[in-house]
Amino acid sequence: MKTDPAGVLTGAHYLDGDFAAGEGAMAAGCRFVAGYPITPSTEVVERIARRFPMMGGTFIQMEDELASMAAVVGASWTGTKSMTVTSGPGFSLMMENIGLAAMMETPCVVVNVQRGGPSTGLPTMTGQADMMQARWGSHGDYELIAMSPKSPQETFDLMIDAFNISEIYRVPVLFMMDECVGHMTEKVIIPPAEEIEIVARKLTDKKPGEYWPYELNGGDIPEFARAGDGYHFHSTGLTHDYRGYPEMSAECQWDCVGHLVNKIHNNVDDIVRFEEEEIEGADVVVLTYGITSRVARLGIEMARDKGIKVGSIRLIVVWPFPEKRIRELAGKIKGFVVPEINLGQMVLEVERCAAGQAPAIGVPHPGGGVHDPNAIVEAIVGAAK
Protein backbone atom coordinates (compact mmCIF):
# COMPACT_ATOMS: atom_id res chain seq x y z
CA MET A 1 0.00 0.00 0.00
CA LYS A 2 0.99 3.65 -0.28
CA THR A 3 2.21 5.30 2.86
CA ASP A 4 0.35 7.80 5.03
CA PRO A 5 1.14 11.23 3.52
CA ALA A 6 1.14 12.82 7.00
CA GLY A 7 4.66 11.50 7.61
CA VAL A 8 6.18 12.45 4.27
CA LEU A 9 8.10 15.70 3.87
CA THR A 10 8.18 15.63 0.09
CA GLY A 11 10.86 17.76 -1.53
CA ALA A 12 14.59 18.29 -1.86
CA HIS A 13 16.32 18.92 1.47
CA TYR A 14 19.77 19.23 2.94
CA LEU A 15 19.70 16.74 5.76
CA ASP A 16 22.25 14.96 7.85
CA GLY A 17 22.02 11.21 8.05
CA ASP A 18 20.37 11.29 11.47
CA PHE A 19 17.60 13.59 10.27
CA ALA A 20 17.24 11.48 7.14
CA ALA A 21 16.80 8.40 9.33
CA GLY A 22 14.02 10.18 11.23
CA GLU A 23 12.34 11.30 8.02
CA GLY A 24 12.66 7.82 6.55
CA ALA A 25 11.01 6.28 9.60
CA MET A 26 8.12 8.76 9.52
CA ALA A 27 7.67 8.24 5.79
CA ALA A 28 7.65 4.49 6.38
CA GLY A 29 4.66 4.88 8.71
CA CYS A 30 6.48 4.67 12.03
CA ARG A 31 4.21 6.21 14.68
CA PHE A 32 5.83 5.17 17.94
CA VAL A 33 9.37 5.92 18.99
CA ALA A 34 10.87 5.36 22.43
CA GLY A 35 14.42 6.48 22.95
CA TYR A 36 17.11 7.61 25.32
CA PRO A 37 19.58 10.34 24.35
CA ILE A 38 22.99 9.21 23.18
CA THR A 39 25.59 10.76 20.93
CA PRO A 40 25.84 10.54 17.94
CA SER A 41 22.28 9.31 17.38
CA THR A 42 20.21 11.84 19.31
CA GLU A 43 19.32 14.01 16.32
CA VAL A 44 17.19 11.17 14.98
CA VAL A 45 14.77 11.34 17.90
CA GLU A 46 15.03 15.13 18.12
CA ARG A 47 13.75 15.31 14.56
CA ILE A 48 10.96 12.87 15.34
CA ALA A 49 10.00 14.61 18.60
CA ARG A 50 9.43 17.83 16.65
CA ARG A 51 7.42 16.26 13.84
CA PHE A 52 5.45 13.44 15.47
CA PRO A 53 2.81 15.65 17.15
CA MET A 54 1.68 16.78 13.71
CA MET A 55 1.07 13.27 12.37
CA GLY A 56 -0.48 11.24 15.19
CA GLY A 57 2.79 9.74 16.34
CA THR A 58 3.94 9.36 19.93
CA PHE A 59 7.53 9.84 21.03
CA ILE A 60 8.52 9.09 24.58
CA GLN A 61 11.91 9.59 26.13
CA MET A 62 12.34 6.60 28.39
CA GLU A 63 14.50 6.25 31.49
CA ASP A 64 17.09 4.10 29.72
CA GLU A 65 17.67 1.94 26.67
CA LEU A 66 16.35 -1.20 28.38
CA ALA A 67 13.01 0.54 28.74
CA SER A 68 13.15 2.07 25.26
CA MET A 69 13.52 -1.29 23.58
CA ALA A 70 10.89 -2.93 25.81
CA ALA A 71 8.42 -0.15 25.01
CA VAL A 72 9.07 -0.57 21.29
CA VAL A 73 8.28 -4.28 21.47
CA GLY A 74 5.09 -3.54 23.43
CA ALA A 75 3.96 -0.84 21.02
CA SER A 76 4.60 -3.00 17.99
CA TRP A 77 2.06 -5.53 19.29
CA THR A 78 -0.64 -2.91 18.79
CA GLY A 79 0.19 -2.78 15.08
CA THR A 80 1.78 0.65 15.42
CA LYS A 81 5.11 0.65 13.61
CA SER A 82 7.78 1.24 16.20
CA MET A 83 11.42 2.18 16.40
CA THR A 84 14.19 3.08 18.80
CA VAL A 85 17.48 4.83 18.18
CA THR A 86 20.80 4.53 19.95
CA SER A 87 24.57 4.15 19.76
CA GLY A 88 27.01 1.55 21.13
CA PRO A 89 26.47 1.73 24.90
CA GLY A 90 22.70 1.88 24.44
CA PHE A 91 22.85 -0.87 21.85
CA SER A 92 24.40 -3.11 24.49
CA LEU A 93 21.50 -2.41 26.85
CA MET A 94 18.95 -3.00 24.12
CA MET A 95 20.26 -6.48 23.43
CA GLU A 96 18.03 -7.93 26.14
CA ASN A 97 14.80 -6.86 24.48
CA ILE A 98 16.10 -7.26 20.94
CA GLY A 99 16.21 -10.92 21.97
CA LEU A 100 12.62 -10.60 23.23
CA ALA A 101 11.58 -9.07 19.90
CA ALA A 102 13.29 -11.93 18.06
CA MET A 103 11.65 -14.54 20.30
CA MET A 104 8.19 -12.94 20.15
CA GLU A 105 8.63 -12.33 16.40
CA THR A 106 7.96 -8.64 16.73
CA PRO A 107 8.60 -6.28 13.83
CA CYS A 108 10.57 -3.18 14.83
CA VAL A 109 13.55 -1.11 13.78
CA VAL A 110 16.58 -0.32 15.92
CA VAL A 111 18.90 2.40 14.65
CA ASN A 112 22.50 2.26 15.84
CA VAL A 113 24.58 5.27 14.82
CA GLN A 114 27.90 3.64 15.58
CA ARG A 115 30.68 5.38 17.47
CA GLY A 116 34.03 4.16 18.71
CA GLY A 117 33.94 1.58 21.52
CA PRO A 118 34.20 -0.49 23.63
CA SER A 119 32.40 0.95 26.65
CA THR A 120 32.06 4.74 26.45
CA GLY A 121 34.81 4.76 23.82
CA LEU A 122 34.67 7.72 21.44
CA PRO A 123 31.19 9.22 21.91
CA THR A 124 31.43 11.82 19.16
CA MET A 125 33.60 9.94 16.69
CA THR A 126 32.88 7.27 14.17
CA GLY A 127 33.16 3.52 14.36
CA GLN A 128 31.83 0.35 12.75
CA ALA A 129 32.69 -1.99 15.55
CA ASP A 130 29.18 -3.15 16.52
CA MET A 131 28.72 -5.30 13.42
CA MET A 132 29.23 -8.63 15.15
CA GLN A 133 27.14 -7.48 18.10
CA ALA A 134 24.39 -6.77 15.60
CA ARG A 135 24.45 -10.38 14.56
CA TRP A 136 24.28 -12.22 17.85
CA GLY A 137 24.58 -9.61 20.59
CA SER A 138 21.63 -11.01 22.50
CA HIS A 139 21.98 -14.43 24.05
CA GLY A 140 20.74 -17.59 22.39
CA ASP A 141 20.23 -18.53 18.76
CA TYR A 142 18.27 -16.29 16.45
CA GLU A 143 18.67 -14.57 13.11
CA LEU A 144 17.69 -11.04 12.25
CA ILE A 145 18.35 -8.49 9.55
CA ALA A 146 20.87 -5.64 9.62
CA MET A 147 21.37 -2.90 7.07
CA SER A 148 24.05 -0.29 6.57
CA PRO A 149 23.52 2.91 4.55
CA LYS A 150 26.30 4.96 2.96
CA SER A 151 24.66 8.39 2.70
CA PRO A 152 21.79 10.50 4.01
CA GLN A 153 19.79 9.76 0.84
CA GLU A 154 20.31 6.05 1.19
CA THR A 155 19.52 6.32 4.89
CA PHE A 156 16.12 7.74 3.99
CA ASP A 157 15.41 5.18 1.27
CA LEU A 158 16.70 2.21 3.19
CA MET A 159 14.76 3.12 6.32
CA ILE A 160 11.52 2.51 4.44
CA ASP A 161 12.83 -0.89 3.35
CA ALA A 162 13.91 -1.60 6.94
CA PHE A 163 10.34 -1.14 8.22
CA ASN A 164 8.91 -3.12 5.34
CA ILE A 165 11.23 -6.06 5.71
CA SER A 166 10.72 -6.18 9.48
CA GLU A 167 6.97 -6.57 8.84
CA ILE A 168 7.50 -9.27 6.21
CA TYR A 169 9.76 -11.47 8.34
CA ARG A 170 8.56 -10.38 11.78
CA VAL A 171 12.07 -9.62 12.99
CA PRO A 172 13.84 -6.62 14.46
CA VAL A 173 15.81 -4.86 11.73
CA LEU A 174 19.03 -3.30 12.98
CA PHE A 175 19.85 -0.15 11.08
CA MET A 176 23.63 0.07 11.40
CA MET A 177 24.67 3.61 10.56
CA ASP A 178 27.95 5.18 11.59
CA GLU A 179 28.74 8.60 12.98
CA CYS A 180 30.08 9.82 9.63
CA VAL A 181 26.89 9.00 7.74
CA GLY A 182 24.82 10.20 10.69
CA HIS A 183 26.48 13.60 10.79
CA MET A 184 27.19 14.27 7.10
CA THR A 185 24.80 16.66 5.42
CA GLU A 186 23.85 16.00 1.84
CA LYS A 187 20.97 16.47 -0.51
CA VAL A 188 18.07 14.17 0.28
CA ILE A 189 15.14 13.90 -2.08
CA ILE A 190 11.96 12.78 -0.41
CA PRO A 191 9.45 11.55 -2.97
CA PRO A 192 5.71 12.18 -2.83
CA ALA A 193 3.77 9.84 -0.52
CA GLU A 194 2.10 8.12 -3.45
CA GLU A 195 5.50 6.90 -4.60
CA ILE A 196 6.37 5.33 -1.25
CA GLU A 197 5.30 1.72 -1.00
CA ILE A 198 4.96 0.34 2.51
CA VAL A 199 4.12 -3.08 3.87
CA ALA A 200 1.09 -2.77 6.11
CA ARG A 201 0.93 -5.29 8.87
CA LYS A 202 -1.08 -8.19 7.56
CA LEU A 203 -3.52 -9.34 10.19
CA THR A 204 -4.97 -12.81 10.41
CA ASP A 205 -8.31 -13.52 8.73
CA LYS A 206 -9.09 -16.08 11.40
CA LYS A 207 -11.73 -15.47 14.03
CA PRO A 208 -10.91 -15.24 17.71
CA GLY A 209 -10.95 -18.75 19.09
CA GLU A 210 -9.49 -20.22 15.90
CA TYR A 211 -6.29 -18.22 16.01
CA TRP A 212 -2.95 -19.20 17.52
CA PRO A 213 -0.20 -16.59 17.43
CA TYR A 214 2.66 -18.84 16.27
CA GLU A 215 0.83 -21.24 13.98
CA LEU A 216 2.69 -21.44 10.69
CA ASN A 217 0.06 -22.92 8.36
CA GLY A 218 2.76 -24.12 5.98
CA GLY A 219 4.44 -20.73 5.56
CA ASP A 220 7.55 -19.30 7.15
CA ILE A 221 5.89 -16.48 9.05
CA PRO A 222 3.03 -16.72 11.55
CA GLU A 223 0.00 -14.50 11.14
CA PHE A 224 -0.44 -11.41 13.23
CA ALA A 225 -3.15 -10.25 15.58
CA ARG A 226 -3.07 -6.90 17.32
CA ALA A 227 -3.48 -6.54 21.06
CA GLY A 228 -6.98 -5.18 21.57
CA ASP A 229 -8.70 -6.93 18.66
CA GLY A 230 -10.29 -9.66 20.76
CA TYR A 231 -7.97 -12.58 20.03
CA HIS A 232 -6.86 -13.04 23.64
CA PHE A 233 -3.51 -14.43 22.56
CA HIS A 234 -0.45 -15.08 24.69
CA SER A 235 3.11 -14.26 23.74
CA THR A 236 6.19 -15.06 25.79
CA GLY A 237 9.95 -14.86 25.77
CA LEU A 238 10.01 -18.47 26.95
CA THR A 239 10.38 -21.28 24.45
CA HIS A 240 6.83 -21.71 23.21
CA ASP A 241 4.63 -23.83 21.00
CA TYR A 242 2.32 -22.67 18.20
CA ARG A 243 -0.20 -21.48 20.80
CA GLY A 244 2.38 -19.17 22.36
CA TYR A 245 2.34 -21.38 25.46
CA PRO A 246 5.62 -22.12 27.23
CA GLU A 247 6.92 -25.61 26.76
CA MET A 248 10.18 -26.70 28.31
CA SER A 249 11.50 -29.46 26.11
CA ALA A 250 14.28 -30.03 23.60
CA GLU A 251 11.63 -30.88 21.00
CA CYS A 252 9.85 -27.57 21.40
CA GLN A 253 13.19 -25.74 21.46
CA TRP A 254 13.91 -27.26 18.04
CA ASP A 255 10.56 -26.11 16.67
CA CYS A 256 10.63 -22.66 18.25
CA VAL A 257 14.25 -21.61 17.82
CA GLY A 258 14.74 -23.61 14.64
CA HIS A 259 11.90 -21.57 13.19
CA LEU A 260 13.48 -18.25 14.24
CA VAL A 261 16.63 -19.19 12.36
CA ASN A 262 15.01 -20.91 9.39
CA LYS A 263 12.62 -18.11 8.54
CA ILE A 264 15.71 -16.04 7.66
CA HIS A 265 17.85 -18.88 6.27
CA ASN A 266 15.03 -20.00 3.96
CA ASN A 267 14.71 -16.51 2.53
CA VAL A 268 18.34 -15.38 2.39
CA ASP A 269 18.29 -14.90 -1.37
CA ASP A 270 15.37 -12.50 -1.08
CA ILE A 271 16.87 -10.59 1.84
CA VAL A 272 20.55 -10.13 0.94
CA ARG A 273 21.30 -6.95 -0.90
CA PHE A 274 24.62 -5.64 -2.18
CA GLU A 275 25.98 -3.50 -4.95
CA GLU A 276 28.79 -4.66 -7.22
CA GLU A 277 31.14 -2.69 -9.40
CA GLU A 278 33.64 -3.95 -11.99
CA ILE A 279 33.54 -7.47 -10.62
CA GLU A 280 34.00 -9.16 -13.98
CA GLY A 281 37.62 -10.12 -14.45
CA ALA A 282 38.69 -8.56 -11.16
CA ASP A 283 41.72 -9.97 -9.38
CA VAL A 284 40.90 -8.25 -6.13
CA VAL A 285 37.47 -7.50 -4.66
CA VAL A 286 37.12 -4.83 -2.01
CA LEU A 287 34.17 -5.48 0.29
CA THR A 288 32.82 -2.52 2.22
CA TYR A 289 29.74 -1.12 3.92
CA GLY A 290 28.60 2.24 5.32
CA ILE A 291 31.00 5.17 5.23
CA THR A 292 33.95 2.92 4.43
CA SER A 293 32.48 2.22 1.00
CA ARG A 294 32.98 5.87 0.15
CA VAL A 295 36.43 6.15 1.65
CA ALA A 296 37.52 3.03 -0.23
CA ARG A 297 36.63 4.51 -3.60
CA LEU A 298 39.81 6.58 -3.73
CA GLY A 299 41.94 3.61 -2.71
CA ILE A 300 40.31 1.51 -5.40
CA GLU A 301 40.97 4.20 -8.05
CA MET A 302 44.59 4.51 -6.94
CA ALA A 303 45.06 0.75 -7.21
CA ARG A 304 43.49 0.72 -10.66
CA ASP A 305 45.96 3.43 -11.68
CA LYS A 306 48.66 0.95 -10.75
CA GLY A 307 47.12 -1.49 -13.24
CA ILE A 308 45.40 -3.79 -10.75
CA LYS A 309 41.99 -5.11 -11.69
CA VAL A 310 39.87 -4.20 -8.69
CA GLY A 311 36.18 -4.79 -8.24
CA SER A 312 34.03 -3.90 -5.28
CA ILE A 313 31.08 -5.15 -3.35
CA ARG A 314 29.17 -2.85 -1.04
CA LEU A 315 26.93 -4.56 1.47
CA ILE A 316 23.56 -2.85 1.90
CA VAL A 317 22.04 -5.68 3.90
CA VAL A 318 24.86 -6.77 6.16
CA TRP A 319 23.07 -9.61 7.98
CA PRO A 320 22.24 -12.10 6.59
CA PHE A 321 25.55 -12.13 4.76
CA PRO A 322 25.73 -12.83 0.99
CA GLU A 323 27.52 -16.08 1.63
CA LYS A 324 26.73 -17.67 -1.74
CA ARG A 325 28.09 -14.74 -3.75
CA ILE A 326 31.31 -14.50 -1.74
CA ARG A 327 31.95 -18.23 -2.16
CA GLU A 328 31.33 -17.93 -5.88
CA LEU A 329 33.72 -15.01 -6.27
CA ALA A 330 36.36 -16.58 -4.07
CA GLY A 331 37.02 -19.20 -6.71
CA LYS A 332 37.68 -16.58 -9.34
CA ILE A 333 39.82 -13.93 -7.65
CA LYS A 334 43.19 -13.59 -5.96
CA GLY A 335 41.87 -12.05 -2.78
CA PHE A 336 39.35 -9.96 -0.89
CA VAL A 337 40.22 -6.72 0.84
CA VAL A 338 37.94 -5.67 3.68
CA PRO A 339 38.47 -2.20 5.12
CA GLU A 340 36.21 -1.50 8.08
CA ILE A 341 36.32 0.80 11.09
CA ASN A 342 36.99 -1.98 13.56
CA LEU A 343 39.86 -4.33 14.17
CA GLY A 344 38.44 -7.12 12.05
CA GLN A 345 34.79 -8.18 12.14
CA MET A 346 33.08 -8.64 8.77
CA VAL A 347 36.42 -9.76 7.37
CA LEU A 348 36.00 -12.91 9.43
CA GLU A 349 32.73 -13.62 7.65
CA VAL A 350 34.37 -13.04 4.27
CA GLU A 351 37.14 -15.41 5.27
CA ARG A 352 34.62 -18.03 6.37
CA CYS A 353 32.62 -17.79 3.15
CA ALA A 354 35.72 -17.75 0.94
CA ALA A 355 36.55 -21.06 2.62
CA GLY A 356 40.22 -21.00 1.73
CA GLN A 357 39.72 -20.35 -1.98
CA ALA A 358 40.99 -16.78 -1.66
CA PRO A 359 42.48 -14.87 1.25
CA ALA A 360 40.49 -12.16 3.02
CA ILE A 361 42.75 -9.29 3.95
CA GLY A 362 41.41 -6.91 6.55
CA VAL A 363 42.26 -3.24 6.67
CA PRO A 364 41.60 -2.44 10.28
CA HIS A 365 40.89 0.94 11.83
CA PRO A 366 40.05 1.28 15.52
CA GLY A 367 37.60 4.17 15.08
CA GLY A 368 37.80 7.91 15.62
CA GLY A 369 38.39 8.54 11.92
CA VAL A 370 38.23 6.91 8.54
CA HIS A 371 40.88 5.00 6.62
CA ASP A 372 43.86 6.51 4.91
CA PRO A 373 43.27 5.42 1.28
CA ASN A 374 46.93 4.42 1.07
CA ALA A 375 46.30 1.66 3.61
CA ILE A 376 43.59 0.29 1.34
CA VAL A 377 45.86 0.54 -1.72
CA GLU A 378 48.58 -1.31 0.13
CA ALA A 379 46.18 -4.12 1.00
CA ILE A 380 44.95 -4.31 -2.61
CA VAL A 381 48.53 -4.49 -3.90
CA GLY A 382 49.25 -7.24 -1.38
CA ALA A 383 46.14 -9.19 -2.41
CA ALA A 384 46.94 -8.88 -6.11
CA LYS A 385 50.34 -10.58 -5.77
Compare residues 66 and 298 and give the one whose CB is closer to another protein. Answer: 66
Compare residues 36 and 289 and give the one whose CB is closer to another protein. Answer: 36
Only one of the segments 25-33, 183-191, 319-327, 335-343 lies at the binding site for another protein (rule: CB under 8 A); that segment is: 25-33
Question: Site for another protein (CB under 8 A): which residue of 41, 82, 166, 288?
Answer: 82
Only one of the segments 120-128, 170-178, 236-244, 327-335 lies at the binding site for another protein (rule: CB under 8 A); that segment is: 236-244
Only one of the segments 74-82, 122-130, 170-178, 297-305 lies at the binding site for another protein (rule: CB under 8 A); that segment is: 74-82
Residue 124 and residue 338 in contact, taking contact as beta carbons nearer than 8 Å: no
Question: Site for another protein (CB under 8 A): which residue of 19, 77, 91, 169?
Answer: 77
For 374, residues 6+ apart whose C-beta sits below 8 A from its C-beta are: 299, 302
What is the helix (H) or strand (E) element at residue 44, kind and residue range? Answer: helix 42-51
Q: What is the DSSP letter of 249?
A: S
Write the single-letter amino acid at 69.
M
Crossing angle (nearest 10°) for helices 17-27 and 152-169: 40
User: Residue 94 and residue 110: Cα distance in Å, rounded?
Assistant: 9
Only one of the segments 97-105, 140-148, 179-187, 294-302 lies at the binding site for another protein (rule: CB under 8 A); that segment is: 97-105
Q: Is 323 in the site for another protein (CB under 8 A)?
A: no
Compare residues 7 and 335 and give the one whose CB is closer to another protein. Answer: 7
Only one of the segments 17-25, 61-69, 114-122, 342-350 lies at the binding site for another protein (rule: CB under 8 A); that segment is: 61-69
Task: Tell how far CA 229 is from the center of its chain.
Answer: 30
Q: Is 126 in the site for another protein (CB under 8 A)?
A: no
Q: Is 73 in the site for another protein (CB under 8 A)?
A: yes
Residue 5 and residue 193 in contact, taking contact as beta carbons nearer than 8 Å: yes
Write the single-letter amino acid at 161.
D
Residue 352 and residue 303 in contact, taking contact as beta carbons nearer than 8 Å: no
Q: Is 123 in the site for another protein (CB under 8 A)?
A: no
Q: Is 252 in the site for another protein (CB under 8 A)?
A: no
Question: Site for another protein (CB under 8 A): which residue of 11, 37, 54, 195?
Answer: 54
Residue 65 and residue 45 in contact, taking contact as beta carbons nearer than 8 Å: no
User: Residue 322 and residue 268: Cα distance in Å, rounded?
Assistant: 8
Residues 165-224, interacting with another protein (CB under 8 A): 198, 200-201
Planar angle of CA 35, 199, 113, nearest 5 degrees: 30
Only one of the segments 85-93, 153-161, 235-243, 344-352 lies at the binding site for another protein (rule: CB under 8 A); that segment is: 235-243
**Could you tell me which of 126, 115, 110, 67 has the C-alpha nearest to residue 89?**
115
User: Residue 300 and residue 371: Cα distance in Å, rounded?
Assistant: 13
Question: Site for another protein (CB under 8 A): which residue of 41, 42, 80, 153?
Answer: 80
**Could you tell me which of 43, 36, 45 has the C-alpha nearest to residue 65?**
36
Only one of the segments 57-65, 110-118, 268-276, 306-314 lies at the binding site for another protein (rule: CB under 8 A); that segment is: 57-65
Q: Is 92 in the site for another protein (CB under 8 A)?
A: no
Q: Is 226 in the site for another protein (CB under 8 A)?
A: yes
User: Residue 370 and residue 385: Cα distance in Å, rounded?
Assistant: 26
Q: Is 253 in the site for another protein (CB under 8 A)?
A: no
Q: Is 142 in the site for another protein (CB under 8 A)?
A: no
Q: How many chain residues interact with another protein (CB under 8 A)?
A: 57
**Would you call 246 helix, strand, or coil by DSSP?**
strand
User: Residue 112 and residue 293: Cα distance in Å, rounded?
Assistant: 18
Interface contacts to another protein, rule CB under 8 A: 1, 3-4, 6, 29, 31-32, 34, 53-58, 60, 62-64, 66-68, 70-82, 96-97, 99-100, 104, 198, 200-201, 226-238, 245-246
